[in-house]
């Protein structure tokens, strides 16, 4: 099987699936994803004029796609708009929705069904699945996690008491304001508590508070070590498409306090941490104070999370489901052609 990955800014080509894969980029997509954190959607928010470049970028990506079309069995578009680059090519196509693309199409409801087109759409969470089906009700959706996580640090290492960790871009959509307000309350109740923040962003100053340690952007290989040092992981997002860092925390045995969005809303319960309403700093502070003040409970939660999620999120599970999606699409190709449809 030969799969061509139509790769958007900020995404990673398909890896480790045991089939031949060829990533196809437009220079604009690639450079924007490499040079601007958050890819095209974030770039459009900060520089709205960028949207004028998208049609030309799609045309270039289409030409690159046509060049390889004869030799492939199936296209896999990562990010819904990139599937337009395979328009008119009589090959099956699978699409992965990553969240930012869905949010963009929700602002263009009349065009959304055309963008989504035919063929299955892979989504990571039930929340994202509902949003895709609202845009294009006839679309088939498949639930597959976008990444796998393998434990890379021995679970015997003991976390530091009263140490929280957040891995986030410091921007409003990640709940920076809510986390700051909650952390002020946490420190009043637990003056010994600390919060390590991995990541950076324009709202860095909002979290310049007592007990907050800024680690900055670090190599992904260092993330497990930071998770192991923490007794608790915090996700304060207002809208999370998936939440890779939350998954990494669970797999590495770190309990989670998270807002009710992304994968946390589906898998985190009182055995592994707490889920709180989005945009509610008081509820966030109550959950943080409760758990940080009980290191033994956190240790038990972390051990349970590692035992329960290490297999659930491993790469082999993700790969197996992705291969099944490819095989199913190839078996019924007339449901997933991206070629022009007769009227």
Please check whether residue 9 is in contact with residue 40, taking contact to mean a CB–CB distance below 8 angstroms: yes
158 in a structural domain: no
Q: Both tokens of residue 293?
A: 């003040």
Mark whether 181 and 233 lie in a shared domain. Answer: yes
Report the chain (343 residues): mean pLDDT per 10 consecutive residues.
60 54 62 51 63 73 80 85 81 88 85 79 92 89 86 67 96 96 98 97 95 94 92 96 94 96 96 98 98 96 93 85 88 55 32
Residue 158 pLDDT: 75
154 in a structural domain: no
Task: State the first-to-last Cα distance of the chain, in angstroms, to the nearest integer.
Answer: 32
Q: What is the CATH number of the domain that holds 170?
A: 3.40.50.2000
Strand partners, 276: 259
Residue 13 pLDDT: 46
Listed residue (259, 260, 268) closest to 305, CA to CA: 268
206 in a structural domain: yes
Mark whether 109 and 176 lie in a shared domain. Answer: no
Residue 30 pLDDT: 52
Mark whether 114 and 167 lie in a shared domain. Answer: no
Mark whether 275 and 328 lie in a shared domain. Answer: no
- How far is the CA of 217 from the CAs of 166, 173, 176, 207, 332, in angstroms? 12, 18, 16, 16, 44
341 in a structural domain: no
Residue 108 pLDDT: 83
92 in a structural domain: yes
340 in a structural domain: no
Mark whether 281 and 204 lie in a shared domain. Answer: yes
Query: What DSSP state is assigned to residue 63?
Result: H
233 in a structural domain: yes
Mark whether 320 and 303 lie in a shared domain. Answer: no
Residue 339 pLDDT: 44
Mark whether 68 and 10 lie in a shared domain. Answer: yes
Mark whether 187 and 92 lie in a shared domain. Answer: no
Mark whether 86 and 175 lie in a shared domain. Answer: no
Mark whether 283 and 303 lie in a shared domain. Answer: yes
Structural domains counted in the chain: 2
Mark whether 122 and 199 lie in a shared domain. Answer: no
Residue 298 CA neighbour count, 13 Å, CB half = 27
Residue 199 pLDDT: 95
Q: Both tokens of residue 115?
A: 């963008």
Q: Which residues form the domain of 81?
A: 2-148+315-335
Please check whether residue 128 is in contact with residue 263, taking contact to mean a CB–CB distance below 8 angstroms: no
79 in a structural domain: yes
Mark whether 82 and 210 lie in a shared domain. Answer: no
């Amino acid at each position: 099987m030969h799969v061509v990955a139509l790769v958007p800014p900020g995404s990673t080509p398909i890896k480790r699936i045991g089939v031949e894969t060829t990533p196809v980029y437009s220079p604009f997509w690639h450079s924007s994803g490499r040079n601007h954190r958050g890819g095209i959607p974030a770039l459009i928010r900060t520089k709205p004029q960028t949207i004028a470049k998208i049609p030309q970028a799609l045309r270039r990506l289409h030409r690159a796609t046509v060049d390889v079309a004869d030799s492939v069995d199936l296209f896999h578009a990562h990010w819904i708009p990139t599937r337009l680059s395979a328009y008119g090519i009589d090959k099956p196509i699978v699409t992965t929705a990553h969240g930012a693309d869905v949010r963009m199409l929700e602002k263009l409801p009349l065009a959304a069904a055309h963008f989504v087109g035919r063929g299955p759409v892979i989504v990571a969470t039930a929340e994202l699945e509902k949003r895709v089906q609202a845009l294009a009700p006839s679309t088939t959706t498949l639930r597959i996690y976008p990444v796998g996580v393998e434990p890379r640090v021995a679970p015997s290492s003991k976390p530091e008491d009263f140490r929280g960790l957040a891995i986030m871009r410091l921007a409003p959509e990640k709940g920076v304001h809510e986390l700051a307000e909650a952390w002020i309350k946490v420190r009043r109740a637990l003056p010994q508590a600390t919060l390590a923040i991995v990541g950076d962003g324009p709202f860095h100053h909002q979290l310049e508070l007592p007990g907050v340690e800024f680690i900055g952007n670090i190599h992904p290989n260092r993330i497990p070590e930071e998770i192991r040092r923490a007794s608790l992981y915090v996700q304060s997002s207002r809208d999370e498409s998936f939440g890779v860092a939350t998954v990494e925390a669970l797999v590495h045995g770190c309990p989670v306090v998270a807002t009710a969005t992304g994968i946390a809303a589906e898998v985190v319960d009182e055995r592994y941490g707490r889920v709180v309403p989005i945009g509610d700093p008081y509820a966030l502070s109550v959950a943080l104070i409760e758990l940080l003040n009980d290191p033994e409970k956190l240790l038990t939660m972390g051990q349970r999370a590692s035992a329960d999620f290490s297999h659930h999120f491993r790469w082999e599970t993700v790969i197996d489901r992705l291969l099944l999606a490819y095989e199913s699409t190839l078996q019924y190709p007339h449901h997933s052609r991206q070629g022009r449809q007769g009227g």
